[in-house]
Structure 1
Amino acid sequence: MSELIQAVLNSEEKLDLRSFLSDLRHQDKKYLLRNDIQNVYRDYCSHYQKPEQFYTSSHLGKLLYYTQEIIQDESSFCLIIRPKIASQEVYRLTADLSVEPMTVQELLDLRDRFVNRFHPNEGDLLELDFGPFYDYSPMIRDPKNIGKGVQFLNRYLSSKLLQDPKQWLQSLFEFLSLHQYNGVQLLINNRIKSQKQLSEQVKSAIAFVSNRPSDEPYEELRFHLQTMGFEPGWGNTAARVQETLEMLDQLIDSPDHQTLEAFISRIPIIFRIVLVSPHGWFGQEGVLGRPDTGGQVVYLLDQAKSLEKQLQEDSIQAGLEGLNVEPKVIILTRLIPNSDGTLCNQRLEKVYGTENAWILRVPLREFNPNMTQNWMSRFEIWPYLETYAIDAEKELMAEFQGRPDLIVGNYSDGNLVAFLLSRRLGVTQCNIAHAFEKTKYLFSNLYWNDLEDKYHFSLQFTADLLAMNAANFIISSTYQEIVGTPDSVGQYESYKCFTMPDLYHVVNGIELFSPKFNVVPPGVNENYFFPYTHTQDRVESDRQRIEEMLFTLEDPTQVFGKLDDPSKRPLFSMARLDRIKNLTGLAECFGQNKELQEHCNLILVAGKLRVEESGDNEEREEIVKLYRIIEEYNLQGKIRWLGVRLSKIDSGEIYRIIAEHQGIFVQPALFEAFGLTILEAMISGLPTFATQFGGPLEIIQDRINGFYINPTNLDETGAKILDFVQKCEQKPDYWYQVSGRAIDRVYSTYTWKIHTNKLLSLARIYAFWNFTSKENREDLLRYIEALFYLIYKPRAQQLLEQHQYR
């Protein structure tokens, strides 16, 4: 039995538990989530006049703190307890307080009955269980180390080298012998025929290069090293070659995980990278703010630039200049024929500021041109992805003149395409989710049938399961994206066990302790986003134009609202107008706080101004809601709403101008997987208030370099912002202190240089791991393929048939 339940039953609080359960029976809600449980418990303590210590420190309080869900089922209650991160226990509790554990299958059946209580299922549902396929791979034990997969994997691999040196050195030898660039052999040639000979020749090569001047270029050493069996790739100078060979020598003689990581991370095996993001409007101009188009465009363009630059540096350091190596990065996205004035109908577009990074757009196959010729919601794209992957494979092979070395998926659709491509091409697959819809929409899996016409979650959640299990490694921006916090479930953790009634049960959807998970936060583009104090990097004409647009421009096509007093401190936010980004929640918070209105103006940069201009249902609803809030709270004269699409240059300057006015950035999302706008605001010097639900918890250090807010509690949020404003007025230095610490936080932790080095290191190490364990992965991949063809594809075909008539 749970220690938490046992502690209550063994104490005088047993009566309180009975009384609390009695109160639950009179609740309208029969399915309570953690916030609901805490609210009912707070009311219980208030009603029975319990002391504050009972609420926070009693055995019952602790039990309910760790209880994620309570489901009432006729004469009993089901308690889903999460005593620690990545761990779940389920118990049935009856009125007489008898307790029995429930299996995962019993829990899923109960959830099904709750949804289908008037039409219960007959017979069993398909069960999806990925657990057995992870028996082959090593497992992390301590939850604190989840997200540090590569560190664990390096320790595991180096221990294998020690335990079974002959087999693992043979694998390493074969791996090093594989690699070529445009038909030119790298690292080891056929003069070295075995791992034993490799060990001998490494020592000879070290002796040779150690007698050469340390700065002697590789080209002058090349012929002699080739006769010893070593091709280009070890270094660009004698010193660099010696250093790399000594790492290999140490690995052969006395392996350790640091040496393994350092050695594998520097060998040149990655030259061609695909970043996959099919949905949305993907371009470099005129796309931000459109439906389904926001942070991922900024993220991928910055990532592509940084990757190309790092690949170039790595190639030079590896001594490959004589081979005319040209690393190439391709962002694979969708070609939209009716492109609404953007370049989204252009097949190939070079990424600004790069030598060989490109946006490659591949169209969806025709089917119904009313759908495929136009922008399509990310919720509707599913039927086209298999044929899209087939067509994209041909285009990529033509552009690269061969296979890519790494495929990185983005979002649910991009990750599914990455899986299909990597399976066909035999290439290392990396997944980056950014955000899962499953955690954005409450009870989205339980009530998927009711939401299917609008969101098609059956396809999306199936795609997520397939892609995340197929991936060689997964990058998350934060630890909590994987396994949450002590009091909230992580995005990946939400896939561990769930039901989609009438479709399937997931009894083990993902192994959270797998070393495939790695936390690698993104960076911020320092060319566009930098502190407002860097006046030498700013363009005065841009500053004046943006200043006018923010505060005084009267143009009803772009701006709604005229400020009565433009000199008030600006509260600023910039995001898409959708429910999750919650800009309407911020407007309502501002509207409810009269005192805040006396000190500040609210300035929003958000989407369209008119319903008829938007083709997105959710955006249209939010537009109507924002106008209603402005009217209800009489915010005319206190709010500016800019319906503009901005270039990154203008976005950067907006943050800096708000900072010059000693403004505040507020990010009020109901959930934010990471929060690039938070980084952009902080590096610009803006004190930032950001949602406590999601990634901002790991970016911001509360009350040091920013502030957490609960966007569902408008009174509390308004009070926190007002308190900061009043402190700044009382102590003018306070704003500057928080501003300076925000800037320092970004520069120390969130740069693209840090991100890219880590990503490429991971890609090389997992390529080695994939090579040594590929036989053990084949059964998993066959299982995933079976689910794709038996579950995903028939449902995709049904949706495609619906599209034929639109």
Structure 2
Amino acid sequence: MSELLQLLLESEEKSDFRSFLSDLRLQETRYWLRNDIINVYSDYCSKYQKSEQFCTASNLGKLIYYTQEIIQEEYSFCFIIRPTIASQEVYRVTEELEIIPMTVQELLDLRDRFVNKFHPQDGYLLELDFGPFYDYSPTIRDPKNIGKGVEFLNRYLSSKIFQDRNEWLESLFDFLQLHHYNGVQLLINDRIKSQKQLSAQVKKALGFVSGRPKNESYEQFRFDLQMIGFEPGWGNTAERVQETLSILDELIDSPDPTILEGFISRLPIIFRIVLVSAHGWFGQEGVLGRPDTGGQVVYVLDQAKSLEKQLQEDALLAGLEGLNVQPKVIILTRLIPNSDGTMCNQRLEKVHGSENAWILRVPLREFNPNMTQNWISRFEFWPYLETFAIDSERELLAELQGRPDLIVGNYTDGNLVAFLLARRMKVTQCNIAHALEKSKYLFSNLYWQDLDDKYHFSLQFTADLIAMNAANFVVSSTYQEIVGTGDSVGQYESYKCFTMPDLYHVVNGTELFSPKFNVVPPGVNENYYFPYTRTEDRVESDGVRLEEMLFTSEDSSQIFGKLDDPSKRPLFSMARLDRIKNLTGLAECFGRSKELQEHCNLILVAGKIHLEESGDNEEREEIIKLYHIIDEYNLHGKIRWLGVRLSKTDSGEIYRVIAQRQGIFVQPALFEAFGLTILEAMISGLPTFATQFGGPLEIIQDQVNGFYINPTNLEETAEKILDFASKCEQNANYWSAISQAAIKRVYSTYTWKIHTTKLLSLARIYGFWNFTSRENREDLLRYLEALFYLIYKPKAQKLLEQHQHR
């Protein structure tokens, strides 16, 4: 990037650069983000009648494209430039157009001065730098391979085995000796006493099973293999045992990444999994649409059922049927005594449709019962996490009759609990963030002191740093969740370098090139969400009832609006009412377009319709705003707003009812980390328009199986939807073509079977990696504990003291 700057200053564009900086000085703001920079540059090009070629292809145009932030000081500008994904360069540009590189520390100091210009920081701040702790770990070089951590790790481990064969085979031998189920030894017994003997005995066992009928049950020759040194876990038939032993034999003789993954992925070493979803209304009925629920509850429940099913299949294939293996999945959440008629006050609840998956609810310690016996917002939950983890450990040990094999955290609070549990129980830890709040709220770290009373970002971002660095592996739904796109910063990337003025500087908050990051998108529950054309699986009476509710019924107090012409094409969206989900933005988009109103009705299934029924401040604000938009644009007769809680069955059928009327689904979020509703709509057969900010960019292939929209550009969004509706009216097959392409996209990529198979493979590989490098992680974990006890815990205690007076 320094070469581009040099070219700029040596060319005729130098005067344009100077002129552009002069225009910046005339602006009211002194801190510009990328969209602001592009807008100012666009205005500059228009003002001086610059050609399109100059705007995009000039050195100045290229510099503007790569610039993420500009900060104006008294006599200079600071340019924060992102030349490639997951990289950053910082330069000071003086009045004389001298370019001076800046260090990370200088940038963080500048940001602090910007915030505290009237109260400059005295002394030094704590600096957090996790970089040195990743020296033990291999590092990915090419940004394209970020999110493919396990593939890289397999190659690395295989090369290590090849380079230092004896040491790594010794580690593999020790790893195989570790595993048992309810006290029964698995894989190898003490008749095999060394890695050298293991190699010989593998060949001996292969010779034995190769002579047996392929379909012969493992139980028929179990004791023969035990005499050679091999316990249950290699396969359920002679053929399966031979396959697994052959893979091990090949791995010992000629290590290869694919062989390593294939072998470790087959091993029956995971039987008990804990999924942590700590804060919200977590239940199976009556919770969707409540604050802090929705996508998370759906995701975790579906994941739990799919994991249990996959564990059962794996145990059967491994030949463990004779041991009466019963894999168990526990969803760990909090018990809410005042549960508002839901099951959230029940300690234990079986997950519907499972054999051994359970919701385990652990109560918070009393402290102030006015707080702890009720639902607590995710923004206020921080003081209770440590004691919740301590109490949960005891409950989990009792329910599982031992330690879990894997702990998976969900969201920031769940991930911090997962860290505390994994640290105490010495278990492999997986993080799933879903959505990191830091990316949602602009300048949330810079102005944390102004926002802390409401959002407590100081606790949240500290918890994120601890959990994401402690995790053995991190699962993201999309690549851009980690490192964004060519022109936008990823959620995890935003933790790389930032300041929280007067609290600490983060010089290196996460190693984006670490092989711990893996993209494993979730699936969609095919029992509830399936194509509208599968009429044999639909319940006709449900369809009739929901169609009346959506379009014509006037009986419910939870429905606002009567449609003048219910036969118009439905424009449909379903989400909770909060600022980020932006349903009010969709309503305004619809309200501004008279043409769109002529073609479509707007149908919203969203939270509550009565202000007094909501206890969530943000939801209340959105309810007021939506009523205001309806009145401002006179949408009466053109909109239906349903404030209803739906079962999964009804939720799935609503998509199909809309699809049957050749409707359109719109997901207008200002940012969407992934977008389960997008998958649900697409698999139902609904042509889908979804935000271009976040995960939908990787789900939808624009104009092939769906469409991107910029929800901040209301006119453009309306034009895109209108254009689609017009094409459908002109060509009867166009709607069906997009519908079928959407269905195909989901089935090929986004099923829970694909997700859980990959997740369990990751857990086994990282479990092996964790075992072989456990001593090298201790320094990192100690550092994280210091951060927890010295920064997080004192601030959590202060918040707890506030809660005790409520």
**TM-score above 0.5, yes or no:** yes
Any idea what the Cα deviations from partners look like across 1:206-226, whole Å, max 9, x if unmatched? 000001111111001100100
1:628 aligns with 2:646: no
Distance in 1, Cα, partners of 2:660 & 2:72: 55
Indicate the residue corresponding to 1:33 in structure 2. Answer: 33
Indicate the residue corresponding to 2:727 in structure 1. Answer: 727
Distance in 1, Cα, partners of 2:388 & 2:424: 13
Question: What letter is aligned with 1:2?
Answer: S
Indicate the residue corresponding to 1:677 in structure 2. Answer: 677
Indicate the residue corresponding to 2:385 in structure 1. Answer: 385
Any idea what the Cα deviations from partners look like across 1:338-361, whole Å, max 9, x if unmatched? 000100000100001110000001
Indicate the residue corresponding to 2:174 in structure 1. Answer: 174
1:106 aligns with 2:103: no
Indicate the residue corresponding to 1:284 in structure 2. Answer: 284
Indicate the residue corresponding to 2:306 in structure 1. Answer: 306
Indicate the residue corresponding to 1:751 in structure 2. Answer: 751
Question: What letter is aligned with 1:603?
Answer: I
Distance in 1, Cα, partners of 2:100 & 2:110: 15
Distance in 2, Cα, partners of 1:500 & 1:314: 46
1:714 aligns with 2:707: no
Q: Give percent identity, aligned residues only.
A: 82
The structural deviation recorded for 1:3 is: 2.2
Indicate the residue corresponding to 1:253 in structure 2. Answer: 253
Question: What letter is aligned with 1:427?
Answer: V
The structural deviation recorded for 1:556 is: 4.7
The structural deviation recorded for 1:593 is: 0.5
Distance in 2, Cα, partners of 1:466 & 1:712: 33
Indicate the residue corresponding to 1:130 in structure 2. Answer: 130
Indicate the residue corresponding to 1:7 in structure 2. Answer: 7
Indicate the SS of the match to 1:570. strand
Indicate the SS of the match to 1:533. coil
Any idea what the Cα deviations from partners look like across 1:282-338, whole Å, max 9, x if unmatched? 111111000111101000110001000000000000000000000000000111000
Distance in 2, Cα, partners of 1:7 & 1:702: 36
Distance in 2, Cα, partners of 1:526 & 1:617: 35
Distance in 2, Cα, partners of 1:577 & 1:334: 24
Indicate the residue corresponding to 2:66 in structure 1. Answer: 66
Distance in 1, Cα, partners of 2:433 & 2:257: 28
Indicate the SS of the match to 1:299. helix
CA RMSD of aligned residues (A): 0.6
Any idea what the Cα deviations from partners look like across 1:162-214, whole Å, max 9, x if unmatched? 00011000000000000000000000001111101111100000000001111
Equivalences for 1:380-779 in 2 at 5 Å? Answer: 380-779=380-779
Question: What letter is aligned with 1:177?
Answer: Q
Any idea what the Cα deviations from partners look like across 1:710-763, whole Å, max 9, x if unmatched? 001111111111111111111111111100100000000000000000000000
Equivalences for 1:144-183 in 2 at 5 Å? Answer: 144-183=144-183
Indicate the SS of the match to 2:258. helix
Distance in 1, Cα, partners of 2:616 & 2:134: 41
Indicate the SS of the match to 1:331. strand
Any idea what the Cα deviations from partners look like across 1:443-502, whole Å, max 9, x if unmatched? 100000000000000000000000000000000000000000000000000000000001
Indicate the SS of the match to 1:704. coil
TM-score, scaled to structure 1? 1.00
Indicate the SS of the match to 1:395. helix
The structural deviation recorded for 1:239 is: 0.7
Any gaps of 5 or more consecutive residues in structure 2? none
Distance in 2, Cα, partners of 1:732 & 1:212: 61
Distance in 2, Cα, partners of 1:140 & 1:180: 34
The structural deviation recorded for 1:4 is: 2.3
Indicate the residue corresponding to 1:188 in structure 2. Answer: 188
The structural deviation recorded for 1:52 is: 1.1
Any gaps of 5 or more consecutive residues in structure 1? none
The structural deviation recorded for 1:255 is: 0.5
Distance in 1, Cα, partners of 2:135 & 2:32: 35
Indicate the SS of the match to 2:333. strand
Indicate the SS of the match to 1:290. coil
Distance in 2, Cα, partners of 1:727 & 1:271: 52
Any idea what the Cα deviations from partners look like across 1:65-89, whole Å, max 9, x if unmatched? 0000000011000000001100100
TM-score, scaled to structure 2? 1.00
Distance in 2, Cα, partners of 1:129 & 1:21: 34
The structural deviation recorded for 1:7 is: 2.1
Indicate the SS of the match to 1:764. helix
Question: What letter is aligned with 2:496?
Answer: K
The structural deviation recorded for 1:410 is: 0.2
Indicate the residue corresponding to 2:53 in structure 1. Answer: 53
The structural deviation recorded for 1:257 is: 0.4
The structural deviation recorded for 1:5 is: 1.2
Indicate the residue corresponding to 2:79 in structure 1. Answer: 79
The structural deviation recorded for 1:611 is: 1.2
Indicate the SS of the match to 1:434. coil
Any idea what the Cα deviations from partners look like across 1:497-525, whole Å, max 9, x if unmatched? 00000100000000000000000000000
The structural deviation recorded for 1:280 is: 1.2
Any idea what the Cα deviations from partners look like across 1:769-798, whole Å, max 9, x if unmatched? 000000000000000000100000000000
Indicate the residue corresponding to 1:780 in structure 2. Answer: 780
The structural deviation recorded for 1:555 is: 3.1
Question: What letter is aligned with 1:242?
Answer: Q
The structural deviation recorded for 1:537 is: 0.2
Distance in 2, Cα, partners of 1:509 & 1:488: 18
Any idea what the Cα deviations from partners look like across 1:35-79, whole Å, max 9, x if unmatched? 000000000000000011111111100100000000001100000
Distance in 1, Cα, partners of 2:611 & 2:110: 42
The structural deviation recorded for 1:656 is: 0.3
Indicate the SS of the match to 1:640. strand
The structural deviation recorded for 1:32 is: 0.2
Indicate the SS of the match to 2:694. coil
The structural deviation recorded for 1:2 is: 1.5
Equivalent pairs counted in the alignment come to: 806
Indicate the residue corresponding to 1:203 in structure 2. Answer: 203
Structure 1's consecutive aligned runs of 4 or more residues displaced over 2 angstroms after TM superposition are: none
The structural deviation recorded for 1:9 is: 1.1
Distance in 2, Cα, partners of 1:491 & 1:19: 34
Indicate the SS of the match to 1:784. helix
Indicate the SS of the match to 1:732. coil
Distance in 2, Cα, partners of 1:292 & 1:218: 48
Distance in 2, Cα, partners of 1:723 & 1:123: 59
Distance in 2, Cα, partners of 1:556 & 1:237: 59
